[in-house]
Amino acid sequence: MSDAYPNYDPRVRDQFIRNYRDRGMMKWGGFYLSDHTRVIEKKDKSRRANEKRRLQKQMDFQKISANLFNAFANEKEVSVQLAEENKDHYVAQTIVGFVQGYGDDGIVIAGQVIAFEDIWNCRIIN
């Protein structure tokens, strides 16, 4: 081996082996880069969003109509919770925005047409 590496000293190798301290998992920290962190952040964001959107108390149609009309007439923002939910009783979607108009088929909030029968809860925000 000394022919291929003329400056090779086996004592240096032995000293390195005796004194080398492995940093363990610290050296793998760099592998959690953009793709990994993006997936983790997306899961955390989804989990936090579901925690905030628990199903609220169902409102009767007259109260929902009164809130929507009041918000439309006074240009106030509303939070509308749809009647869809998953098995863990988390709401599928909450729409926040201004009432832009309404018709026979539903109401338009933030550019989305929502059928009246799909509304579970409606609150005036401001």
Q: How many residues does the chain have?
A: 126
CB-CB neighbours of 38 under 10 Å: 10
What pLDDT does 31 receive? 59
What pLDDT does 77 receive? 92
Give the pair of three-digit tokens for residue 66.
Answer: 């009164």
What pLDDT does 28 receive? 58
3-class secondary-structure state, position 59: coil
Task: Summarize pLDDT for 103-120 with one digit per residue, the tens.
Answer: 777 899 988 889 988 888
pLDDT tens for the 126 residues of the chain, in order: 556 677 778 888 888 888 877 766 555 555 556 677 777 777 777 666 655 555 677 889 899 989 999 999 999 999 888 877 666 666 667 888 999 988 777 899 988 889 988 888 899 987
Walk me through the domains of the chain, giving residue ranges and CATH numbers: 21-52 (no CATH), 61-124 (2.30.30.100)
What pLDDT does 66 receive? 92
Q: What is the pTM of this model?
A: 0.53
